[in-house]
Amino acid sequence: MRKSFVLCLLALSAGLLAGAPAQAKGTVCEMRFTMSGWSVFYKTASGSGTITCDNGQKASVHLSSKGGGLTAGKYKIRDGYGKFSEVANIDELFGTYAQGGAEAGAGKSSTAQVVTKGEVSLALAGNGTGVNLGVSFGKLTISKR
């Protein structure tokens, strides 16, 4: 059930990305990552990953997420996957993305969301463990390691 929910959200996210105005920039990139964090009104998480692009560009990255809201919990995302909208160059992917979400889970859980930075969108999905509950907002920063 959770896996099909995540796949459904990814398909919806891909549809949203595909529905954006055509700006054929040419390079498609994806990210594999792990991330862990906690929240008690203030939400923070950090992790690492690798971005690979179909033009051969590749980068090891650090992920940092900070924000606030009505949240409480502790979690770890393993086997995280992200797909970026098309860009001209991998350098367009680094920076801060706006994010928001609602979460509820205990034990094993799955998550999916779309974050944006200007014209660049990133659809994220992952499986993990932990306990979390609430509504949050904030930012996700991707930087070179």
For residue 107, pLDDT over 60 is answered with: no
Q: Token digits for 14?
A: 């891909």
DSSP string across 65-128: EEEEEEEEEEEEEEEEEEEEPPBSSGGGG-EEEEEEEEEEEEEEEEEEEEEEETTEEEEEEEEE
Domain boundaries, the chain: 2-144
CA pseudo-torsion sign 1, 39, 113, 87: negative
CB atoms within 10 A of CB 78: 13
Mean local confidence (pLDDT), 59-75: 81
Higher pLDDT, 118 or 109: 118
Of 32 and 102, which is predicted with more confidence? 32
Whether residue 73 has pLDDT greater than 50: yes
Alpha-carbon 10 to chain mean position: 11
pLDDT per residue over 8-49, tens digit each? 444 444 444 444 444 456 899 999 999 888 777 677 889 999
Mean pLDDT is lowest, of 30-39, 57-66, 96-105, for 96-105
**What pLDDT sits at residue 38?**
79
What CA–CA distances, in Å, run from 56 to 19, 29, 33, 88?
26, 10, 19, 13
